[in-house]
A and B are shown apart, each in its own frame.
Chain A
Amino acid sequence: EVQLVESGGGLVKPGGSLRLSCAVSGFTLDSFTMSWVRQAPGKGLEWVSSISGRSAYIFYADSMKGRFTVSRDNAKNSLYLEVDSLRAEDTAVYYCAREVPTASWYFDSWGQGTLVTVSS
């Protein structure tokens, strides 16, 4: 069974940093491009970043460039997202999602999300 489990969220002060993790099981991580998607309270989904299986290709949404860093450790079956200089508007549930390993573009599996709250 495919499972994605995010962790690392919590309450952080403005200007602080956070590292989110996504532990996966049930599939071979290095065969899949993975993404982070966030959702502010009461708002819609917002794609953050994607990273290819061997980290050769990394992409960020325009609004995420500079403060967000995605990485992965396939040996540890884990995906990461570091966020620096946190702002109130970064408050959101952060989901990791698996992209399909075919010539298409969609997310076939999602984690349950981890909540990041930025507040003083």
Chain B
Amino acid sequence: QSALTQPASVSGSPGQSITISCTGSDLDDVNYNYVSWYQQHPGRAPKLMIYDVTYRPSGVSNRFSGSKSANTASLTISDLQADDEADYYCSSHTFSNLYVFGSGTKVIVL
């Protein structure tokens, strides 16, 4: 199962908005209705930020939002803050009952 493709890095200044894309192949068996996003700070475990494409777990800032179009999901971080600097991974489930992760995106706050 191939990884989902994400940009290697995305940068923005504090207060700005950035968007991270997560794209699969037209031929994969990924179920794009179950895309989730994880934030990972260096040396830390991943943290769930978005699930089922658009839903935020309790405690996650509403500055984080998700969306999708066909086989591309997106994570938008608005009002960018210094603590948002981290790695972000998309993930989804496949029709073969497997999981696949994205290649990861490093968010840089300028």
Contact = CB atoms under 8 A, between A and B. Distances in A.
Given A106-B48, A107-B48, A47 B99 contact: yes
Interface residues of A, number: 23
A119 interface: no
B77 to A, nearest CB: 19
A93 to B, nearest CB: 9
Given A45-B101, A111-B45, 12 more contacts: A44-B101, A45-B40, A50-B97, A57-B97, A59-B97, A104-B52, A105-B34, A106-B48, A106-B51, A106-B52, A107-B36, A112-B44
Most buried by B among A44, A106, A112: A106
A105 B45 contact: no
A46 B4 CA distance: 11
Contact of B92 (A62, A97, A105): A105
Given A106-B48, A108-B48, A47 B34 contact: no
A73 to B, nearest CB: 23
A40 B44 CA distance: 14
Nearest to A104: B52
Interface residues of B, number: 27
Contacts of B91: 45, 47, 106-107
Interface in A1-59: 35, 37, 44-47, 50, 57, 59
Contact of B34 (A97, A106, A111): A106
Contacts of A37: 46, 101
Interface in B22-64: 31, 34, 36, 38, 40, 44-48, 51-52, 57
